[in-house]
Chains A and B, each alone.
Chain A
């Protein structure tokens, strides 16, 4: 009721209402912590946020196709551990290759389970989350991995350097955002993803091979998480078994905050990236205000509930018409 009273006069959709709420929250935090707006801090947050944002790009493909990928948290941990561990053993090139290879492989397996065997995406990818956590614990024997001499490897360039004053991770993010936006928006492949998410049966009746497309979405998701892991390892020069834990939901909440519907069929890369960045800024503000970092998990919960509610409410509204 109260919500209707707020909503009606401004002609806000449920989603806009939620966005307005988070916008106001952010502005509120800015008042308390104006230092947030210093160029250095903004750069810091963007650099920090580029890791989940890269993952969000992949997840957006999966979400638009009407599915979920919850395996990416452990996938990030596993890839990072592998890359860091192999770096000192066989050198950065092979390490990066191995990380990307694992991302690709996991994407293929997820894609096979969901698209070909038609398993429930939630169950299939949650299972994968758990499996990968186990594998990374076995691989690392429970220990943290470290790159011994971070100053003397070109590998540090990816996560730590600047080009024209802009941190390299941000540049990678920008390139990926543009590239994948084009892929999603202007190609037949992207169109088919939207179609499948919008109405899978109708896409099938139109001669679209949903299996192949959904499979590819999971592959992209796995790959982008591996790319994020490369940036992460290079930035931190180390990795833990729980480096990525919780990221699957955090990234997902950024994606849906950016307007992708969990019912599939809508969303854009740019807005997903923006969604993640909004979360990063709120979280950064909370840290500056003096709240502990794990408020992030609470924030994730609030976002998910609020957006999922708005998504459902507006879907009902639409179909009711």
Chain B
């Protein structure tokens, strides 16, 4: 077989069989004799709660981990993967839950990293590189430009670069680990088109997501993992969300019912004028005690940047705010924390957590004041806070001081939430609070957010997920083209009014 037709395989053939794979980490059996077949030309979804072992299984398939037990048969041949590179050469590509681009390089360089075209002089042949990049981008149908610097792109775009890489490598098995976590609906739709195209070309696709509607829409079959064990495979067109959830968590989930109307109290933060250079021009907003303010918009609309200005992380030439009615100037995050503002950032790995520290240590970081005596940290208090939130948020962690690096994505997110809740802020800004969180935990977090509001906290929820905004907001604003295009009280809140906000000019 020639190297350049790695992707040629007939639809319906078994592309990969996973046979009795087990993987043990210190203290956990992450995978327990998992077997599953993936066919060429199918989108095979993998579902399971946070920590069920989905990412671990994918990393075994992509050569990041070696299984303790079991084997992999890829296109009829038993394979023994020693590195991700080897898997890549065989035609298996994992697109990570966390983006792994070289931020300093251009889009084109990232796509062809490791296989850059060279000219006769031995230098990179830039013309050819850009031409081939344009081809790949066109084939995938993405809005990318070859010469942009990867690190400066918004998350959604960065992810497109990763997917373009799979197209460029002509992989025959492509694994997506929560690809839509940071995409807007429109972008997700574009991604699905790409996936369908890959599928038509006979590529086998493994697809992990916590968004069940999406799985029903895109996948052909769904396999479910629970606590590292294989639960079964379902034919997607024969099931509904409830059936998948039941298999995932071993019980039925009650539907989230509508929140009772809230009775907002006094204004906590009111921004008379705020400008975020490059994003937002002289907006105005306010949030009251006991109120959840939803902030909807497309990825890249500047919502996170707005939050960063409020939190003192980003300078603004033109901002005037009042905190509980009194004018304030917040020029650093420590000012914000002192006032009683918390921010759960969008990017948990880079901004939310110190990965080599423990859960307790991460949680108390913004509130060291509360666990100290004359500057000395009380370990007991730390552990108590940790245990408290571990229980409230159902965090699966090994212990208060075990590094959070190896926790599953959803559990890491819960640690970040706990970290800010433990500061008991007056205003909590949540930037995509349920990204990468499983359905059960998501409902749990939504319930928690409502409860906090009921107890009098002012909350701003930034989300690109319409259902989340619809479910939580007492009031929502839509940010588009640098302006607040809509302000909608709960009574006027609907999918349609939100969409109007991002389509109006």
Contact = CB atoms under 8 A, between A and B. Distances in A.
Contacts of A194: 354, 357
Nearest to B364: A191
Contact of B353 (A186, A199, A265): A199
A184 to B, nearest CB: 11
A208 B365 contact: yes
A318 B64 CA distance: 11
B333 A188 contact: no
Contacts of B65: 321
A182 B313 CA distance: 32
Contacts of B345: 205
A186 B377 contact: yes
Interface string A308-321: 00000000001011
A186 B375 CA distance: 8
Interface in B317-365: 332-334, 336-338, 343, 345, 350-357, 361, 365
A203 B356 CA distance: 13
A118 interface: no
Contacts, number: 76
B440 interface: no
B377 A187 contact: yes
State the main secondary structure of chain A at its contact with B: helix
A202 interface: yes
A182 to B, nearest CB: 8
Interface string B82-105: 001000000000000000000000
Interface in A191-219: 191-192, 194-195, 198-199, 201-209
A266 interface: yes
B44 interface: no
B468 to A, nearest CB: 22
B343 A187 contact: no
B352 A186 contact: no
Given A189-B375, A204-B333, A266 B356 contact: yes
Contacts of B351: 201-202, 205
Contacts of A318: 405
Contacts of A320: 64, 84
Contacts of A208: 333-334, 365
B368 interface: yes
Interface string B62-88: 001100000000000000000010000
A71 to B, nearest CB: 28
A208 B350 CA distance: 15
B365 A195 contact: yes
Nearest to A261: B356
B481 to A, nearest CB: 28
B356 A198 contact: yes
B356 A207 contact: no
> Among the interface residues B84, B352, B406, which one has the most CB atoms of the partner chain A within 10 A?
B352
Interface size class of A (residues with CB under 8 A): 20 to 34
A217 to B, nearest CB: 16
Given A187-B375, A204-B313, A318-B405, A192 B352 contact: no
A187 B368 CA distance: 9
B370 to A, nearest CB: 10
Contacts of B343: 205
A209 B366 CA distance: 11
Nearest to B372: A188
Contact of B354 (A189, A209, A265): A265
B357 A206 contact: no
Given A202-B352, A207-B366, A320-B64, A191 B334 contact: no
> Among the interface residues A191, A202, A265, which one has the most CB atoms of the partner chain B within 10 A?
A202
B419 interface: yes
Contact of B375 (A188, A207, A265): A188
Nearest to A207: B337
Nearest to B369: A188
A202 B336 contact: no
A204 to B, nearest CB: 6
A209 B337 CA distance: 11
Interface string B114-126: 0000000000000
B491 to A, nearest CB: 35
Given A195-B357, A206-B333, A207-B333, 14 more contacts: A187-B377, A188-B368, A189-B375, A191-B377, A192-B368, A199-B350, A199-B353, A204-B333, A205-B313, A205-B333, A205-B345, A205-B351, A205-B352, A321-B406
Interface of B: 59, 64-65, 84, 311, 313, 332-334, 336-338, 343, 345, 350-357, 361, 365-366, 368-369, 372, 375-377, 405-406, 419
